[in-house]
Amino acid sequence: MVSAKPSPHRLAPGLLAACALLAPAAALHAAPVQWTAASGGNDHWYEYVPAISIFEPVSQPTARAAALGSAHLGLPGYLATVTSAAEQLFIQSSFGFLVGFGATGTAWLGASDAAVEGQWRWLDGPEAGELVSYADWLPGQPVVGLGFEDYDNLALYINAAVAGAPPTFGWVSVSTSGGALGYVVEYGAAAPPPPPPGTAPAPASLATVLSGLALLGWSRRRGHGRA
């Protein structure tokens, strides 16, 4: 963690990006795409959902709820959990992202450190509750310091400000009260639910217990026989 930096939405003031002026946000909302195992992926599907417009950003709670309420081909949706550089590269290269003033924008991903400051964990999906291992924080990120305590949400930052050059990407932390110009949904296996309290041991564990009890009974009978 480092000391607080200006919000990414204030880093590059200027005119509206050409793509935000010429193309409606709905045109950027494409069908989910699959990162296939044959290409080195995980066979999960990904979808980028832009905000309605650059003037109506979407909050993190709204994006998370929408992602969790979605499904594709029977697979549950959740804000994307990016666990490798290859996965991030696939996301970056698969979509056109909505950008606004200064030709920059953000898209929600699925991590937060709201529970414990500085401990970034994935919120949902197969990695729910796990610490973020792979990271691509931009310089000065994630932000910390007095007045920035609620910068608890992970977003992908898109910078298309350099004319004729491909956009650059990185991670930023964004306030819960802030908004992003879209979000990335991942469709994959759901996290297994925790066993309810008082649940009987799993078959393997139960077999171990029964074997132990049988051995104990045999030992006692043998002891009585010697007496």
Q: How many beta carbons lie within 10 A of that of residue 184, not counting itself?
A: 26
Is 108 strand, coil or helix? strand
- CA 65 – CA 78 distance, rounded (Å): 8
Distance of CA 90 to the CA centre of its chain: 14
Q: How many beta carbons lie within 10 A of that of residue 32, not counting itself?
A: 18
66-106 pLDDT, tens digit per residue, is 999 999 999 999 999 999 999 999 999 999 999 999 999 99
Q: How many helices (H) and strands (E) does the chain have?
A: 4, 11
Query: Torsions phi, psi of 38, nearest 5?
Result: -60, -25
Which residues are CB-neighbours of 14 under 8 A, at least 6 positions away? 101, 102, 103, 161
187-196 pLDDT, tens digit per residue, is 998 666 666 6
pLDDT value at position 34?
98
- CA 14 – CA 160 distance, rounded (Å): 12
Distance of CA 87 to the CA centre of its chain: 11
Q: Which domains does the chain have, with CATH numbers?
A: 2-187 (3.10.100.10), 196-227 (no CATH)
Concatenate the DSSP letters of all residues of 44-57 into one string: -EEEEEE-S-TTSP
Mean pLDDT across the stretch 20-31?
62
- 207, two tokens: 């077999």
Share of the chain above pLDDT 70, in %: 71
Bridge partners (DSSP) listed for residue 185: 47, 79
Mean pLDDT across the stretch 16-32?
59
Q: How many beta carbons lie within 10 A of that of residue 136, not counting itself?
A: 15
pLDDT value at position 28?
76
CB 147 within 8 A of CB 96: no
Mean pLDDT across the stretch 5-29?
45
Mean pLDDT across the stretch 56-66?
97
177: confidence class by pLDDT, cuts 50, 70, 90:
confident
Q: Residue 135: name the closest of 171, 186, 184 by CA.
A: 171
Which residues are CB-neighbours of 19 under 8 A, at least 6 positions away? 96, 98, 99, 160
Put simply, whether the predicted model's pTM sits higher than 0.85 gets the answer no
Mean pLDDT across the stretch 26-46?
91
pLDDT value at position 145?
79
Mean pLDDT across the stretch 141-149?
84
Share of the chain above pLDDT 90, in %: 63
- 170, two tokens: 């990185």
